[in-house]
């Protein structure tokens, strides 16, 4: 593979990312699946990188899940998103940074729709005013939160006590990046590196000393697609997509997977358990699965956050082999203790996939 | 009377030869250091497998005419009407050529396959263009390209043609038959190789083309699959993994190839628009030069005294290019003798 060819494409797909003063739009599901991710992101931005990030508890879902399953009409979705923009405007911000890939895709799609059809924007402004008496300015800058981490990847590398290297051998760790479909597949120009050879996460891996794995099914959807999991009968399709990816990446012996979509990270983690129970297969080394991290978790790890503080005990695939490789100290006894030091109980062991109890 | 011909490809060379034969003096301008244009990049021609180098040589020999002055390594930058019916063509080497008529024979450029990012050209080592394959034929380097002969080759049609995504709506006409010809050449060189052509439609419009297509299937065992490539990726062995929908069977298909050949289409040459613009000659939306009338005014333009020949107006095969060049020579003669003043 000619890396210079990829770098040429990366140079063509760079975008303006604001340097400070962000309005943060949380994800509906990221906090449920990976409860430490958004906290870690905010802590890193505010306390490590010294950035101003504003939140508003009145912020709601963007309705993306409902929109993409044809449950919520486009006008409703646009009005809800217009309300988000109004909250941003009221907070005195003009840079919006959604945590969710679907929200990012939806915001991008709506802004593009309004650009080409100003009459629709006008109609939505009217809907929002009638429903809430709010007005809004369109964001001056829209970036996904993984874009923000990408922008500051070198600053983070300078602060990080850990590198993505095997401390025992010095070998760069091999990382598979998985980009949410709604990040750049609809609007390639809005993604770092475009849709075909995205660099937003592989850029992090490389900046922090790891090696990015490019494998045949790199662009393939993880199978999260809303209809695939909302309709129970379709879930086999979702599993099949993830399976296709695992089988394709397995030959490269990746040390970890990093994703920027809440759903992708969740399914790539959980489906490894499902597949092990269904077929008795595991894709990682020595009978373990391949650890899956959100980009916030990976960032927090290289910056030295406690693995249990950022919620890694909620992962299905054991993260300890990765922590051991990278040289992060952790207390095995504290894994399932809550903030008061009480036991939360331990999950049952899978039949085939190895975990560390 | 003098005529300035811009472009020393097959069209420009043929027109120069014909006009010189009619007693005119001709300045033939070529930006490269030899004539022949894109023909220099080809090995054999369809449908008769004539040597491309042989044809270039033939065209070159015809230019050894006392009435023809060849200006190589010179790029035409601008055309201006210096006096009514008199044109001045400025060249990159500061020379100014004068003529009573100017023939635009600026040809085409090959589509830059890097623009189809999902095909990985320039990134995956085993993805090449049809033009590069011709070079491998010429140098007989295909069998040893990657240390050993490829076992499975895929030809991808319509790369840069009929593709809304990269804003090229036009058909380049030649890629289908070129793929058939190249597939046959590959079969002759590598009898054991599996060969697949992935096409949208097979547009075999020229004499002998359809017959060649049939022969490719029946005699050369080349498999044609109707379906457009959605993406390509490289596996751990460096092979190319392609995803295609077989639109006749209605099923997705995944295949591993040892070599993927992109049938790159034709686009308007970079210089065409600029030169045409300098004399207010309009272009088609795809950048090719618009003739005065698509039926009765080919070779003519909206600007009297400015003529066209060959694939600067649309994708064209060599047969049509040479015919068009002769037609242009005839139109110019009529214009200069005053028997057909077009407006």
Structural domains for chain A: 16-145 (1.20.1050.140), 162-334 (3.40.50.11810)
How many pairs of residues across A and B have Cβ atoms under 8 Å apart? Answer: 43
If asked whether residues B262 and B122 sit together in one domain, one would say yes
List of residues 6+ apart from A96 with CB closer than 8 A: A22, A23, A25, A84, A85, A88, A107, A139, A141, A142
- Encode pLDDT of A120-178 as tens digits: 999 999 999 999 999 999 999 999 999 999 999 999 999 999 999 999 999 999 999 99
**Cβ separation A216–B117 shorter than 8 A:** no
The shortest C-alpha distance from B145 to chain A (Å) reads: 16
| B102 shares a domain with B245 | no
Each residue of A297-317: pLDDT tens digit?
999 999 999 999 999 999 999
The verdict on B133 and B62 lying in the same domain is: no
In a shared domain, residues B185 and B40: no
Examine the domain organization and report whether B19 and B158 are in the same domain.
Answer: no
Last residue of a domain, one of B266, B283, B318: B266
Q: Does residue B29 sit within a domain?
A: yes
Q: Is A217 within 8 Å of B233 when comparing Cβ atoms?
A: yes
Tell me, what's the pLDDT at B341?
Answer: 54
Provide the residue range defining the domain that includes B306: 2-107+269-336
Nearest to B118 among A196, A215, A252 (CB): A196
Q: What is the mean pLDDT of chain A?
A: 95
Q: Do B147 and B28 fall within a single domain?
A: no
Between CA B35 and CA B338 the distance in angstroms is 31
Hey, what are A46's tokens?
């505010």
Instruction: Tell me what ipTM this predicted complex has.
Output: 0.86
Give the 3-state secondary structure of residue A124. Answer: helix
The closest of B80, B67, B78, B72 to B9, measured between CA atoms, is B72
> Per the domain annotation, does B326 fall within a domain?
yes
Share of chain A above pLDDT 70, in %: 100
The per-residue pLDDT for range A92-123, each reduced to its tens digit, is 999 999 999 999 999 999 999 999 999 999 99
Of B266, B292, B307, which one is at a domain's C-terminal end? Answer: B266
Strand locations in chain B (E): 2-6, 25-29, 44-45, 50-51, 68-71, 76-83, 86-91, 96-99, 101-104, 108-110, 127-129, 152-159, 194-199, 223-226, 229-234, 240-246, 251-257, 259-264, 266-268, 306-308
Say if residue B102 is in the same domain as residue B118: no
CATH code assigned at B239: 3.50.50.60
Each residue of B85-134: pLDDT tens digit? Answer: 899 999 999 999 999 999 999 999 999 999 999 999 999 999 999 999 99
What is the 3-class SS of B88-121, one letter each residue? EEEECCCCEEEECEEEECCCEEECCHHHCHHHCC
Asked whether the beta carbons of residue B233 and residue A252 sit closer than 8 angstroms, the reply is no
Instruction: Please report which confidence band the pLDDT of residue A295 belongs to, taking 50, 70 and 90 as the band edges.
Output: very high
pLDDT-based confidence at A342, cuts 50/70/90? very high
Q: Give yes or no: residues B220 and B135 share one domain.
A: yes
Confidence (pLDDT) at B343: 42
Report the residue of chain B nearest A4, measured CA to CA: B123
Residues 178-237 of B with CB under 8 A from A: 231, 233-236
Tens digit of each residue's pLDDT (9 = 90 or more) over A35-50: 999 999 999 999 999 9
The residue ranges of chain B whose pLDDT is under 50 are 343
pLDDT at B340: 62
Within this chain, do residues B142 and B260 fall inside the same structural domain, yes or no?
Answer: yes
Give the model's confidence band at A1: pLDDT under 50 very low, under 70 low, under 90 confident, else very high: confident
Q: DSSP readout, A62-96?
A: --HHHHHTTSS-HHHHHHHHHHHHHHHHHTT--EE
Q: Does the pLDDT value for residue A228 go beyond 70?
A: yes
Phi, psi of A22 (to 5 degrees): -105, 140
- Domains of chain B: total: 2
Indicate whether B243 and B297 sit together in one domain: no
Same domain as B198, residue B89: no
In the listed set B247, B266, B285, which residue is the last one of a domain according to the structure?
Answer: B266
pTM of this structure: 0.91
B residues 233-272 lying closer than 8 A (beta carbon) to A: 233-236, 238, 241
């Amino acid at each position: 593979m000619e890396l210079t060819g990829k770098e040429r494409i990366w140079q063509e797909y760079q975008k303006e990312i604001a340097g400070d003063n962000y309005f943060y739009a949380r994800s509906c599901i990221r906090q449920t699946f990976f409860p430490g991710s958004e906290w870690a992101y905010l802590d890193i931005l505010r306390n490590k990188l010294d950035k101003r990030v504003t939140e508003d508890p009145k912020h709601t879902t963007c309705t993306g899940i409902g929109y993409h399953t044809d449950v919520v009409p486009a006008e409703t979705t646009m009005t809800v998103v217009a309300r988000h923009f109004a909250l941003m405007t009221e907070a005195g911000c003009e840079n919006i940074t959604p945590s969710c890939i679907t929200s990012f895709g939806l915001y991008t799609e709506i802004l593009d729709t309004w650009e080409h059809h100003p009459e629709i924007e006008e109609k939505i402004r009217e809907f929002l005013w009638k429903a809430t008496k709010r007005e809004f300015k369109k964001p001056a800058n829209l970036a996904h939160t993984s874009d923000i981490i990408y922008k500051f990847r070198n600053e983070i590398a300078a602060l990080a006590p850990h590198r993505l290297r095997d401390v025992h051998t010095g070998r760069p760790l091999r990382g598979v990046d998985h980009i949410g479909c709604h990040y750049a597949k609809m609007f390639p120009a809005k993604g770092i590196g475009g849709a075909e050879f995205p660099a937003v996460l592989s850029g992090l891996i490389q900046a922090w000393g790891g090696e990015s794995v490019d494998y045949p099914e790199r662009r393939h959807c993880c199978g999260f697609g809303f209809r695939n999991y909302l309709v129970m009968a379709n879930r086999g399709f979702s599993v099949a997509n993830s399976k296709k990816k695992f089988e394709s990446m397995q030959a490269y012996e990746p040390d970890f997977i990093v994703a920027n979509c809440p759903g992708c990270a969740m399914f790539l983690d959980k489906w490894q358990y499902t597949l092990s129970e269904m077929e008795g297969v595991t894709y990682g080394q020595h009978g373990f699965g391949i650890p899956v991290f959100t980009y916030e978790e990976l960032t927090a790890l290289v910056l030295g956050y406690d693995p249990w503080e950022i919620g890694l005990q909620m992962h299905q695939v054991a993260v300890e082999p990765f922590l051991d490789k990278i040289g992060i100290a952790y207390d095995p006894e504290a894994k399932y203790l809550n903030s008061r030091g009480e036991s939360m109980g331990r999950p049952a062991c899978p039949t085939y996939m190895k975990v560390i109890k | 009377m003098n005529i300035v011909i811009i472009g020393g490809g097959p069209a420009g060379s043929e027109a120069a030869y014909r006009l010189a034969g009619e007693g005119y003096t001709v300045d033939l301008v070529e930006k490269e250091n030899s004539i022949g244009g894109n023909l220099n990049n080809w090995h054999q021609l369809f449908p008769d497998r004539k040597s491309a180098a042989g044809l270039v040589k033939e065209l070159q020999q015809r230019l050894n005419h006392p009435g023809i002055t060849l200006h190589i390594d010179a790029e035409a930058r601008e055309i201006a009407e210096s006096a009514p019916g008199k044109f001045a063509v400025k060249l990159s080497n500061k020379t100014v050529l004068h003529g009573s008529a100017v023939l635009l024979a600026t040809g085409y450029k090959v589509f830059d396959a890097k623009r189809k990012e999902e095909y990985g050209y320039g990134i995956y080592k085993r993805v090449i263009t049809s033009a590069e394959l011709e070079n491998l034929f010429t140098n007989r380097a295909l069998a040893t390209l990657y240390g050993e002969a490829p076992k499975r080759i895929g030809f991808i049609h319509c790369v840069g043609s009929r593709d809304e995504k990269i804003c090229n709506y036009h058909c380049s006409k030649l890629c289908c038959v070129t793929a058939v010809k190249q597939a046959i050449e590959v079969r002759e060189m590598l009898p054991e190789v599996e060969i697949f052509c992935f096409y949208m439609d097979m547009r075999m419009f020229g004499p002998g083309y359809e017959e060649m297509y049939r022969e490719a299937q029946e005699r050369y065992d080349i498999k044609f699959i109707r379906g457009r490539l959605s993406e390509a990726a490289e596996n751990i062995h460096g092979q190319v993994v392609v995803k295609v929908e077989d639109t006749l069977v209605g099923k997705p298909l995944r295949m591993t190839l040892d070599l993927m050949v992109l049938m790159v289409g034709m686009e308007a040459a970079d210089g065409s628009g600029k030169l045409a613009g300098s004399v207010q000659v309009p272009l088609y939306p795809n950048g090719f030069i618009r003739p005065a009338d698509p039926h009765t005014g080919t070779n003519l333009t909206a600007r009297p005294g400015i003529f066209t020949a060959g694939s600067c107006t649309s994708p064209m095969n060599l047969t049509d290019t040479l015919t068009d060049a002769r037609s242009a020579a005839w139109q110019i003669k009529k214009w200069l003798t005053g028997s057909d003043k077009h407006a």
